[in-house]
Amino acid sequence: MELNLAGKVALVVASSQGLGKAIASELAKEGTHVMLTSRNEDKLQQVKEEINSLGEGKVSYFSCDITKPEEIQALLQKTNQELGKIDILVNNAGGPPGGTFEKFNDEDWQNAFELNLLSYVRLVRAALPDLKKEGGRIINIASSSIKTPIPGLILSNTFRLGVVGLAKSLAEELAPYNILVNTVAPGRIATDRVAFLDQMKADNQGKTREEIEEASKKSIPLGRYGNPEEFAKVVAFLASDASSFVTGTSLLVDGGMVKAI
Ligand SMILES: NC(=O)c1ccc[n+]([C@@H]2O[C@H](COP(=O)([O-])OP(=O)(O)OC[C@H]3O[C@@H](n4cnc5c(N)ncnc54)[C@H](OP(=O)(O)O)[C@@H]3O)[C@@H](O)[C@H]2O)c1
């Protein structure tokens, strides 16, 4: 299968750890030029060192808080200067805080909106002039909550659906430019975020994190958490020429966890 990712330019957002880092590594292995970004320059420098020699492509980094529009502009400029025109935009962000409805005030809702939905809108807007030139890919990272809400994660449950609505609309609007727009929804992939949420649940229920993890694995037909590399390979496929007739779709990577049809 020809992925044809070598020599393409990918901006992978929120890539200092977890899913974003795994996606950046996978693309780097394929020879893609990769721009890493998150708020933490030291972590980005470290990730660059780790993945630099995986493939022939160039790896750069630039620190950016994606809730700040002026920083997104600077990120795009830096990507163009260092790597050239963007072919692949992977939208990703940190998760919103966990909690149920009565925990959150307007400011919490506004913050989650800016981090988990508006940042994707702004990143698409900023990358669009590049993507329109020769076509490209927009891949949005969301959550299994796009299919079934996760108890205690009301902010995620709400804004991830906005990401799907955005992607579905963009898939149609941008199809004439051969820009394909898809959403990838992780179930439970073993990252710091998932460990943190399991610990939070354990504390609330007076259990250990291991007990929570074991119970959680029982709800996954494959009987385990996914690893970030398995998730990243799916994103790399959607970023590649191999997915040339796939747009507007939402793909779960969840080991069979979500039962909705
Ligand atoms: N792992 C899963 O199974 C799973 C399941 C469902 C949904 N998700 C969602 O998928 C996304 C990635 O998950 P993950 O597990 O990789 O999370 P993670 O390990 O917590 O990583 C989050 C990343 O987001 C970056 N980030 C946070 N706020 C940012 C900001 N304002 N500007 C720029 N970068 C920012 C962090 O970097 P810095 O701290 O360096 O800025 C970090 O690189 C999250 O939204 C998560 O909720 C994950």
Q: pLDDT tens, 233-253?
A: 999 999 999 999 999 999 999
Output the residue whose Cα is nearest ligand 1's atom 2.
Answer: 189
Nearest to 181 by CA among 83, 90, 117: 90
pLDDT of residue 3: 97
* 143 Cβ below 6 A of ligand 1: yes
pLDDT score recorded for residue 19 = 98
**Are 183 and 89 members of one domain?**
yes
Contacts of 52 (CB under 8 A, 6+ apart): 28, 59
Output the pLDDT for position 56. Answer: 96
Largest distance between two CA atoms of the chain: 55
Is residue 261 in some structural domain? no
Say if 4 falls within a structural domain: no
Question: How much of the chain exceeds pLDDT 90, in percent?
Answer: 99
Q: What is the mean pLDDT of residues 61-73?
A: 98
Q: Which structural domain range is residue 29 located in?
A: 9-187+227-251
Instruction: With cut-offs at 50, 70 and 90, classify the pLDDT of residue 191.
Output: very high
In 3D space, the residue among 146, 97, 111, 120 whose CA is nearest the CA of residue 260 turns out to be: 146
Same structural domain, 64 and 176: yes
**pLDDT at position 81:** 98
Identify the pLDDT of residue 73.
Answer: 98
Task: Please state, rounded to an integer, the average pLDDT across all residues of the chain.
Answer: 98
CATH of the domain at 124: 3.40.50.720
In this structure, what are the phi and psi dihedrals at residue 212, rounded to the nearest 5 degrees?
-65, -45
Q: What is the mean pLDDT of residues 191-213?
A: 95
Q: What is the spatial distance between Cα 188 and Cα 193, in angstroms, rounded to a whole number?
A: 10
Pairing relation of β-strands 33-38 and 250-253?
unpaired
- Ligand 1 midpoint to CA 92 (Å): 7
86 and 200 together in one domain:
no
Half-sphere exposure of 20 (CA within 13 A, CB side): 29
> From the CA of 180, how far away is ligand 1's center (Å)?
23
Please indicate, yes or no, whether residues 103 and 175 belong to a single structural domain of this protein.
Answer: yes
154 with 170, same domain: the answer is: yes
Q: What is the mean pLDDT of residues 85-95?
A: 98
The neighbour count for residue 193, using CB atoms within 10 Å, is 15
CA dist 62 and 43 (Å) reads: 11
Backbone torsion region of residue 255, taken as left when φ is above 0, otherwise alpha when ψ lies between -120 and 50, otherwise beta? left
Residue 85: pLDDT band with limits 50, 70, 90:
very high
Q: What is the pLDDT of residue 22?
A: 98
**How many whole angstroms from 228 Cα to the centroid of ligand 1?**
12
Spatial distance between the Cα atoms of 147 and 250, rounded to a whole number of angstroms:
9
Are 147 and 21 in a shared domain? Answer: yes
Whether residues 154 and 215 fall in one domain = no
101 burial (CB, 10 Å; 0-12 / 13-18 / 19+) is exposed
Q: Write out pLDDT tens, residues 134-176.
A: 999 999 999 999 999 999 999 999 999 999 999 999 999 999 9
Distance, CA of 20 to chain centre: 6
Q: What pLDDT is stored for residue 199 in this prediction?
A: 96
260 part of a folded domain: no
- Measured torsion, CA atoms of residues 243, 245, 247, 253, in degrees rounded to the nearest 10: -40
Percent of the chain's residues with pLDDT above 70: 100
Distance of CA 164 to the CA centre of its chain: 13
Q: How far apart are CA 261 and CA 13, in angstroms?
A: 30
The answer to the question of residue 208 being in a domain is yes
Q: Which protein residue's CA is at the shortest distance from atom 4 of ligand 1?
A: 186
